[in-house]
Amino acid sequence: MPSTFSRLRHDAALTARLAAPLAAGHLSHGLVGLIDTVVAGHHGTATLAAVAVGAALFWLPMLAPMGTLMALPPSVSQLDGGGRRTEIGPLFRQALWLAALLGVLLLALLSLLPLALRPMGIAPDIVPGATAFLHAIRWGIPGFTLYLTLRYLSDGLHWSLPTMVVGFGGLLLLAPVGYVLTNGLLGLPALGAAGVGIASALMFWLQALALALYLHRARRFADLALFAHWEPPRWAVIAGLLRTGLPIGVTVTMEGGLFAATALLIGRLGEVPAAAHQIALNVASLCFMVPFGLAEATTVRVGHALGRGDREGVRRAAFAGFALALATQACSALLMLLGHTAIAGLYSADPAVVALAGSLLLYAALFQFPDGIQVVSAGALRGLKDTRIPMWLATLAYWGIGMPVGAGLGLALGWGAPGMWLGLTAGLSVAAVLLLRRFLRSSQRIPIPPPAPSVRVTDAG
């Protein structure tokens, strides 16, 4: 019998192989923010502050479809683990309808959202640039939601390499196009923050088209007949996806909303705090992509084990994710502690911005471990399709604890941006405890399949 340690090491290796391309794909999305931030920062502090506020308002509503469509990987993985691959294609086609619907709704929302900037109290000198950014990037939303559906289908089938390839391929377009449009090169007008938004929207559509072409032609997906024929919406199937996915969407929005609301509150303090927060948040977000990839891999592996009826396999898959997350988060914390000032200096030439951003990275180092635990716990719970109670736990942690602590320290007591970041740490820490406890209880309640009946051999003669 293999030892517990050897089994954990084996499961960790399986999770790492699945998670590496996923983490790289998420890193490519994080690098979208890095490229946007660097291009905007070198154009000017005002442009950087505008993109900081605009990006917060863009990604906050986008978290809802991202989370909702996360219902697809565990559903696909459980069908695959249970030997029901013929049901994957019809489910995928209904998920495409859901993605299109979410994309159109969010496009409409982003068209109206700039009207709320002044009532939110955003500094007047930031409003025009943030509005231009939002008006430009909104056209990429339907492409992004379709891309998410395509990649979640591939991820749920344990094939995450396309996520990495298409993700980094998009960056080859974003960096030069964004720089040209923002600064007005090659005879084009300088668009500032709007140029960053246009480049991002174009990249989202091209990534969706590239991944759709791959899935259509790849042999490993041929038996699924993903694009074999057109299907009208089947509302019962879409409702089933929503029952699982909407609580995930709310959970993800609660966490992301905490960060976005923090950015908006800091935006009321002026250009320098807003720009410094954007830099520190982008670095923390890049580091978060690794445990986020581990969480998605954990979702798939937990879902596959659940489809097999393997309770111990479910728990081993989750514990492997926790072990890997602790290791990667230790590296992230050490990087921030040792290189905070140098890292901030890569984003901006403004000494005041660099100094404040560097200090915020020290606060970010504090929440690396709880951030890793909470995201992997949430991923394991998604694999069990346990999403409703975690939604309420996340709401309590982020908005019942994190936001009041941050607002109290940062605004009421006058600690500014550092106080807001202590609120982020408090919210993530409480979420880690609550979600980990929920997974341990939920996984213990998985029924063990009855043993196969024994065959009694009798003497025929």
Rg of the chain on CA atoms, in Å: 23
d(CA 151, CA 249) in angstroms, rounded, equals 17
Query: What is the predicted pLDDT for the residue at 329?
Result: 93
Orientation angle between helical segments 45-68 and 88-112, nearest 10 degrees: 140
Write down the mean pLDDT value for the chain.
Answer: 83
Residues 388-414 have a mean pLDDT of 89
Q: Binning pLDDT at 50, 70 and 90, where does residue 115 land?
A: confident
Residue 460 has pLDDT above 60, yes or no: no
Report for 103-117, 148-162, 253-267: range of highest mean pLDDT: 103-117
Comparison of pLDDT for 272 and 319, the residue scoring more:
319
pLDDT recorded at residue 4: 64
Q: Average pLDDT, stretch 178-183?
A: 85
Q: Between 181 and 310, where is the model more confident?
A: 181
Highest-pLDDT range among 129-133, 264-268, 454-458: 129-133
| pLDDT, position 449 | 52
Q: What would the mean pLDDT of 64-69 be, rounded to a whole number? A: 84
Residue 448: per-residue pLDDT: 56
444 compared with 433, residue with greater pLDDT: 433
Residue 455: per-residue pLDDT: 37
Whose CA is closest to 150, among 230, 96, 222, 227? Answer: 96
pLDDT of residue 143: 94
pLDDT digits (tens, 9 = 90+) for 224-243: 888 887 888 888 888 888 88
Q: Does the pTM of the predicted model rise above 0.85? A: no
Cβ-contact 437, 390 below 8 angstroms: no
What's the confidence (pLDDT) of residue 255? 78
**Cα 188–chain centre separation:** 34
Instruction: With beta carbons less than 8 A apart as the criterion, state whether 286 and 371 touch.
Output: no
- Give the integer Cα–Cα distance in Å for 178 and 405: 37
- Round to whole Å and give the CA distance between 246 and 82: 24
Question: Per this entry, what is the length of the chain?
Answer: 461
pLDDT at 210 over 90: yes
Q: What is the pLDDT of residue 435?
A: 95
Q: What is the per-residue pLDDT across 296-314, written as a single tens digit (0 to 9) for each?
A: 889 888 888 887 777 888 8
User: Higher confidence at residue 431 or residue 120?
Assistant: 431
Summarize pLDDT for 4-15 with one digit per residue, the tens. 667 777 777 878
SS3 176: helix
Torsion angles phi and psi, residue 349, rounded to 5: -100, 0
Contact between residue 250 and residue 243 where contact means Cβ atoms under 8 Å apart: no
- 397 pLDDT above the threshold of 80: yes
Please give the pLDDT value at position 322: 92
Sorted by where each begins, the domain ranges of the chain are: 4-444
- What are the helix (H) ranges across 268-310? 271-308
User: What confidence tens digit (pLDDT) does each residue in 318-348 have?
Assistant: 888 899 999 999 999 999 999 888 888 887 7
Predicted pLDDT of residue 2: 57
Residue 48 near residue 194, CB atoms below 8 Å: no
Compare 277 and 396 and report the one with higher pLDDT.
396
